Amino acid sequence: MKKILSGIQPSGILTLGNYLGALKNWVEIQNDYECTYFVADLHSITVTQDPKTLHENIKKVIMQYIACGIDPEKNTIFIQSHVHEHAELGWILNNSAYMGELQRMTQFKDKTAKQENDSVKVGLFDYPVLMAADILLYDPDYVPVGEDQRQHLEITRTLGRRFNSTYGEIFKIPDAYISKSGARIMSLQDPSKKMSKSDANPNGFISLLDSKDEIIKKFKRAVTDSENVVKYTENQPGIKNLIDIYACVTDKKIEQIEAEFEGAGYGTFKTAVGEAVADRLEQIQKKYNELNKPENEEFIQSIYTKGAEKAGKYAKPKLEQVYTALGFVL
Ligand code: AQP
């Protein structure tokens, strides 16, 4: 079976963007590939986190994975920092990466646009190198990435090839897994920005655990335009985003949606999108609330403990191979 690997940062409660851009697709492919999914705690500290909240969020991400339909029997689920080889390989790959190529990463540019150089963390700059280590450590065939992460996968491939060309064929060069249904979900308050769980404005994102009322309110407040026509065009980025969301949660085609809301006002359309999203999230929230009970704590712990053991069995010899190739004494 071909191997797939991906992860999500525990920098908050996951969003509809994480679900439609990543988790929904992970669920669809879990029977066809050998899948490994981790919680990217090391990545999350590239932005300052409150330790108590982070601690809770790490476990919540595992529960959200399972609540979204990731089967812990079929997939390997673990916490990134439990497999120390990620950080070690990250350091090694720092010595293959160039400042210039990291400076060109759009996520870095976006996240630091409003910051002075003195407050930009080196970890944030270095994020793509750690991501390359996360991936190359396991020789996956494919990495399912949303449109927003494509550039980071490209640098992973570059670093893998560069290392291989100096030290021998050590890493498999993975391909992007392009899902049929994946979409880039944008902020409800600023459709030029992607929906992010760390957005300071909670109206910009739908959290997987928002109540039905909150979801509908957030969609009603979504920034649109004054055209008042439900049409899928670049000139109406807010409406385009809502159509994308509606299409993903209902599995309807764009043309079908345009026809369904022909002549209807934005109010009607926004409510319909909110209702459809809330319906879709209802089952996930039910499962999540079940898992989030004290009696299930051990079960969750056993999933990530077993996951780290399994991941470590691959990561340890791979890192040893890297150390040997570099000339280190084992
Ligand atoms: N808005 C989005 N649309 C589509 N896919 C998305 N993903 C995230 N946001 C969207 C997909 O989720 C996976 C991992 O996300 P992550 O949380 O590890 O990092 P991120 O991409 O930086 O997501 P956030 O929510 O924006 O995190 P913060 O706010 O902490 O920076 C990836 O597969 C990504 O494509």
Distance CA 86, CA 130 (A): 7
Catalytic residue status for 111: yes
Distance CA 65, CA 69 (A): 7
Which 3 state secondary structure label does DSSP give 302?
A: helix
Residue of 70, 72, 78 whose CA lies nearest to 41: 78
Q: Which two tokens stand for residue 34?
A: 């050998």
Tell me the average pLDDT across 245-253.
95
269 Cβ contact list (under 8 Å, min separation 6): 230, 239, 242, 261
Tell me the average pLDDT across 63-92.
98
Ligand 1 atom with the shortest distance to the CA of 11: 30
Ligand 1 atom with the shortest distance to the CA of 199: 29
In Å, how far are 28, 57, 256 from 53, measured between CA atoms? 30, 6, 42
What separation in Å is there between the alpha carbon of 263 and the centre of ligand 1?
Answer: 34
The percentage of residues in the chain with a pLDDT greater than 90, rounded to a whole number, is 88
Residue of 309, 302, 326 whose CA lies nearest to 85: 309
What separation in Å is there between the alpha carbon of 264 and the centre of ligand 1?
Answer: 32
**DSSP H or E segment with residue 8:** strand 3-8
Out of 24, 60, 197, 270, the active site residue is 197
Q: Which of 14, 18, 181, 185 to mutate to test the pocket of ligand 1 (most atoms within 8 A of CB)?
A: 18
Nearest residue (by CA) to ligand 1, atom 25, is 196
What separation in Å is there between the alpha carbon of 281 and the centre of ligand 1?
Answer: 18
The structure's pTM equals 0.94
**DSSP H or E segment with residue 278:** helix 266-291
Whether 119 and 136 have beta carbons less than 8 Å apart is answered as no
Output the pLDDT for position 302. 98
Output the pLDDT for position 147. 72
Q: How many CA atoms lie within 13 A of 76 on its CB side?
A: 22
Q: Which of 29, 42, 148, 201 to mutate to test the pocket of ligand 1 (most atoms within 8 A of CB)?
A: 148
Q: If you search the block for the tokens 């006002």, which residue do you land on?
A: 265
Q: Which two tokens stand for residue 112?
A: 């630091």
Tell me the average pLDDT across 62-90.
98
Which domains are seen in the chain, by residue range?
Answer: 3-183+296-326 (3.40.50.620), 202-290 (1.10.240.10)
Q: State pLDDT tens for residues 80-134.
A: 999 999 999 999 999 999 999 999 998 888 888 877 777 889 999 999 999 999 9
- For the cut 70, the answer to whether the pLDDT of residue 10 exceeds it is yes
Output the pLDDT for position 240. 97
Distance CA 20, CA 33 (A): 19
Q: How confident is the model at residue 182 (pLDDT cuts 50, 70, 90)?
A: low
Average pLDDT, the chain: 95
- For the cut 90, the answer to whether the pLDDT of residue 216 exceeds it is yes
Residue of 12, 193, 13 whose CA lies nearest to 110: 193
Catalytic residue status for 310: no
Q: State pLDDT tens for residues 192-204.
A: 999 999 899 999 9
Instruction: Output the ligand 1 site: residues, CB below 6 A.
Output: 6, 8-9, 11, 15, 17-18, 21-22, 40, 145-146, 148-149, 184-185, 194-198
10 Å CB burial of residue 121 (0-12, 13-18, 19+) is middle
Catalytic residue status for 2: no
- For the cut 70, the answer to whether the pLDDT of residue 181 exceeds it is no
